[in-house]
Structure 1
Amino acid sequence: MVQRTTNSELPARNARQKNDYGDGTIYERQDGRFVASLRSSTGKRIERYAKTRKEAKEKLKQLIHENEQGSLVTERNQKIGDYLDYWLKMRRDSLAIKVTTYVSYSSYLHRNVIPVLGNIPLQQLTGTHIQKLYTALRNDGIAPNTIHLIHTILSAALNDAVRWHRIALNPCKHLTAPRAQRTEIKYLTHEQAMQLVEAAKGYRIEQIILLAVSLGLRKGEILGLRWDDIDFDQGILTVRRTVSYIPPHDGELHMYLETDPKTATSKRTIILPTFIQEALKAHRAQQLQERLKAGKEWEQHNLVFCSMLGKHVKPSSLRTQFKGALQKANLPDIRFHDLRHSAATILLSMGVNVKVIQELLGHANISITLNIYSHVTPTMQRDAMKELDQHYQIARKGEIMVGSV
């Protein structure tokens, strides 16, 4: 039988504070609830309520753990902006997300969420606040897919807030964010791709564009290539890594991060056509001249594509030159990644086997390739049916000729 205490029998606050930092106590209130109480390393006492003593013991264990890990929040009115910054760093430092993902999430939150919700206390954040944010973003012309991604990030952050006992419920739980929509793929035709390659001659990214629009390599895969990855004797190129540009954040300087490719199947070997081998050999000869001219200022990273001093190619420089080549060729404004889509579309329209294209692009399975490039299959079907019809007509004529003999 549980023995309850009266107000006079409740432990005095001063008495509880005699415990060492990190020590905790459990006591029962007059209303029958149990309290798990802990004095943090900052000297502030944190209390959590429970219905049973057993539940209170579990909450006290959690308090002690959070205090030891340095994740215990003692401020009752912590602002949502401060919490999101804290959450991002916790996820990054615990290796729950990659550094590149951390930078991406941080960009979305600081650009779209924190300016609107940042000053609201975390415990006062409601679904109405978040729904108004989504409406404002939509009115500002933010794409539904972007709002959907923001919802996913924010929901994950608030789920952790619930798990860490900062809030009781996730206000995102019952909200409906805009559904992610399948965006229409932009791509160049074979003729347009040739125009771009011709217009890019003389640009430092000439061969970069050639690899992207011919082989479908991703930007990070191209910029991560080293000369050791190219075997001219065998005529092959091996994708072993990808390079991501990390912009300045948290007082740190920008950096280039080399990681494994996007998926296991993204590590692949590609047979190079002769025209690409010749372009790369010419590019290597030009790079050697630049290296000799730079002398001691050259940074040797053995990169296939680099600056005039051997450093990584700046994304801003690549973007500027790419847009310039598009304008020079009088082509529509597309993303660099759309060159990958262009390569796949061109190869499919040429009748190249889908399995070959899947391996070339490094997709995990053929269904991904077919799903992304389904816009090409109707044309492929028509061509296939025409060819089938031709074969049928030829066979039919043969039967008639045989029957007439």
Structure 2
Amino acid sequence: MSEPYTVQRLRGGYALVWKENGKRRRRQLNAEDRPGAEAEARSIWQAGAGDSAGTVGEIMQGYMAALERDNKPSAPRRRDAWKAMKSFWEKTDPALIDHEMCRSYADQRKAAPATIRYELLMVSTAVRWAKKGSPEMWLPPVSDRKVRHLTHAQFEKFFDGVVAPHARLYVLLGLYTMARPRAILELTWDRIDFDRGLIDLNPAGRRQTAKRRPVVTMNDELRAELVKAYEAHQISHVIERGGKPIANIKKAFQAASERSGVHVTPYMLRHTGAVWAAESGISMAALAQFMGHDDDSTTQKHYARFSPGYLKGVANAVQRRPF
């Protein structure tokens, strides 16, 4: 009796090929010769290859479910990213992923290179997690990330276009705490200490990651706005609308950007606060602590040039000397 699968050539190697729900599936094999490929295929099939998820969409659902089950901090961001990726990748056979397909995705995605790179790496990681091989991924080159920030005049113009009370509070929190968007949306009232003037951005039970959430001090303007919001609050989350927490603030920013004519994203507030602090002469070491950086190397890389005395010592040391 013939096997319910075949071993075929693929990209200079071999692949296990079978039919599942009327669709042709392929899985790259590691063996370099046909006898080894036949043995590997038998082993994989006996382990239940035909019962495993086949498309990238099926794999991604299992992968993200595992992240959420293990309470991985990256799970919410990856879930959001998948929404933008789903239409292109959902029905794709992972064995067909190659450089041309990745470039095609980048062309239709029309997003920043860093975003596309993150999403393509996410596909690769999920496929490897599902033990479906290692896709031949093309990735956009890594480029220096520009610090997109607002001048004081741009911020005021944008802020005038922010209408909803929850969005205005979010903007002030983003500027004055320099917290990342998700940290602000997840902030709860029990982590705001009005007596000491402190905001703990890290919820209980969340382990600190590379994207550390520090305890920061609130300034007078932010404190006054938080007091008013606390008097009217209905739920535990600081950013709420109609008695419900806000899952995503992007629509409010898009609307305010259209009203004001100043394009702003939630993350730009973090950069804006950091640039303003650097322009005021705050040390990179202090700014690093406030932003949750493990050391000031990242802070120096992005914000040191905005300091009023940036490299002046070097410039002043270069002097003409008469004979």
TM-score by length of structure 1 reads 0.57
CA distance in 2, matches of 1:222, 1:154: 28
Change (3 A) 1:107 1:261: farther
Change (3 A) 1:200 1:381: same
Partner-residue secondary structure (3-state), 1:152: helix
Q: Which runs of 5+ in 2 are unaligned?
A: 4-28, 318-323
CA distance in 1, matches of 2:188, 2:281: 32
Query: What does residue 263 of structure 1 align with?
Result: 209
Query: What does residue 20 of structure 1 align with?
Result: none
Say whether residues 1:240 and 2:202 are aligned partners.
yes
Say whether residues 1:322 and 2:261 are aligned partners.
no
Partner-residue secondary structure (3-state), 1:270: strand
What are the residue-to-residue correspondences of 1:4-403 with 2, within 5 Å? 13=1, 60=43, 66-67=47-48, 72-73=49-50, 82-95=54-67, 98-104=74-80, 106-107=82-83, 109-114=85-90, 118=92, 125=96, 130-140=98-108, 141-159=110-128, 163=131, 170=134, 172=136, 176-197=138-159, 200=162, 203-241=165-203, 260=206, 263=209, 266-285=212-231, 287=232, 291=234, 301-308=235-242, 310-315=243-248, 318-328=249-259, 330=260, 332-376=262-306, 380-381=309-310
Partner-residue secondary structure (3-state), 1:110: helix
Q: Is the 8 A contact 1:88 1:102 kept in 2?
A: no
Change (3 A) 1:158 1:265: closer
Query: What does residue 251 of structure 1 align with?
Result: none
Change (3 A) 1:90 1:196: closer
Q: Is the 8 A contact 1:216 1:341 kept in 2?
A: yes
Comparing both chains, which one has the higher relative contact order based on Cα–Cα distances under 8 Å and sequence gaps of 6 or more? 2
Q: What percent of counterpart residues are identical?
A: 17
Deviations 1:300-350 (A, max 9, x none): x42222122x210252xx33433444455x452021110110000000000
Query: How many aligned residue pairs are there?
Result: 283
Q: Is the 8 A contact 2:149 2:268 kept in 1?
A: yes
TM-score by length of structure 2 reads 0.70
Partner-residue secondary structure (3-state), 2:55: helix
Change (3 A) 1:228 1:178: closer
Higher Cα Rg, which structure: 1
Q: Which runs of 5+ in 1 are unaligned?
A: 1-12, 17-47, 242-257, 292-300, 390-405
Q: Is the 8 A contact 1:263 1:364 kept in 2?
A: no
Q: Is the 8 A contact 1:236 1:271 kept in 2?
A: yes
Structure 1 vs Structure 2 CA RMSD: 3.9
How far off its partner does 1:270 sit? 1.3
CA distance in 2, matches of 1:221, 1:275: 20
CA distance in 2, matches of 1:228, 1:160: 37
Partner-residue secondary structure (3-state), 2:271: helix
Change (3 A) 1:181 1:281: same
Change (3 A) 1:273 1:383: farther
CA distance in 2, matches of 1:177, 1:239: 33
Q: Partner letter of residue 87 of structure 1?
A: I
Q: Is the 8 A contact 1:223 1:313 kept in 2?
A: yes
CA distance in 2, matches of 1:348, 1:333: 23
Deviations 1:348-393 (A, max 9, x none): 000011111111111222112222335525x54266679x89xxxx
Partner-residue secondary structure (3-state), 1:178: coil
Q: Partner letter of residue 132 of structure 1?
A: E
Change (3 A) 1:385 1:269: same
Q: Is the 8 A contact 2:200 2:215 kept in 1?
A: yes
CA distance in 2, matches of 1:276, 1:282: 10
CA distance in 2, matches of 1:325, 1:142: 21
